[in-house]
Amino acid sequence: MSIIARAGLAARGNRGSIGALTCEERDVARIGFLGLGIMGRAMAANLLKAGFEVVVWNRSAAKCAPLVALGAKQAASPREVAAACDFTLAMLADPAAARETVFGAEGVLAGLAERRGYIDMSTVDDATARAIAAAITARGARFLEAPVSGTRKPAEDGTLVILAAGDRSLYDEAAEAFEVLGKKRVFLGEVGQGARMKLVVNMVMGQMMVALSEGLALGLKSDLAGEAILDVLEAGAMACPMFRGKGPMLLADDATTSFPLKHMQKDMRLALALSESVGQPLQGAAAANEVFKRATLAGHGEADIAAVYRVVR
């Protein structure tokens, strides 16, 4: 039976405080959510709209306010969230943030009880995922990595692709929440496989973004119309949602952030580190990474990945 359909439902009226009800007394899953940036904020909002009870935390506490307005409870620390929830989701910026949120003095590890679940949906390297998994399971709790493919709009629309690996029972328990968050979910096996899959996906996307930028830059300097270039790309074998969405942004110099450029450069760096560990040359990815590094150094790190065009053109 799913966690939402669980029987023995009592004491529904006492939900004012985070720790008011035990798992068995509640008719919906109580889900923790750590990290309320561009992605996390939209994902947590979708869970609330779907009827889940959500407890939120963010390092900048003010970011919790819009979700509290939607009905979320706000916690003071990751430890408090993990202690109160059936399972906790995290969407954090990078490996350092992922580790600090788990291993810090008020981190997840300090609050997890036996058999509770922790699901890290951040994009990290496989070594970080395995280190967190080892610590979580050593406490008798369960761990799942579940990074996502998608940016702000898919997060808002609930159409992310969820790349999960780790504890299969936790994957199954979180299925109804995943159905709210994504259009597709896959279980990839042992911890580390989700992180590797996400790095492969983002490595390809980063190269595609640089290729589109260079194509438009060359075409425009050769007196071709930008709209015509995009139209031809859309009509052929290279048609894809990313070109369809990002192409007009490049032409309009619109870098409204849905996926911060600094995070793409981080993902490219992690993919290159993975390539070193397995002995796979990545000449194209290495070159694309240098373009993203240049854009970051030029001050475009907080802008959308579309801003890479500004250093290409």
Report, at the CATH architecture level, how domain 198-312 is classified: Orthogonal Bundle (1.10)
Tens digits of per-residue pLDDT, 156-187?
A: 999 999 999 999 999 999 999 999 999 999 99
Residue 278 has pLDDT above 60, yes or no: yes
> How many Å apart are CA 254 and CA 238, to the nearest integer?
22
pTM: 0.89
- Cα dihedral value 173, 176, 177, 183, nearest 10: 120
Task: Please give the CATH topology (third level) of the domain spanning 23-191.
Answer: Rossmann fold (3.40.50)
Ranges of each domain in the chain: 23-191, 198-312
Stretch 199-206: mean pLDDT, rounded? Answer: 98
Amino acid at 11: A
**Which position has the token pair 């967190």?**
132
Bridge partners of 250, per DSSP, are: none
Q: What is the pLDDT of residues 35-72, one digit of tens each?
A: 999 999 999 999 999 999 999 999 999 999 999 999 99
The set of catalytic residues is 198
Of 263, 155, 142, the residue nearest 191 (C-alpha): 142
The dihedrals phi and psi of 280, each to the nearest 5 degrees, come to: -110, 115
Tens of pLDDT, residues 221-235: 999 999 999 999 999
**CA proximity to 124, closest of 203, 191, 198, 207:** 198
Place of tokens 């706000």: 74
Pair of tokens at residue 247:
């192409």
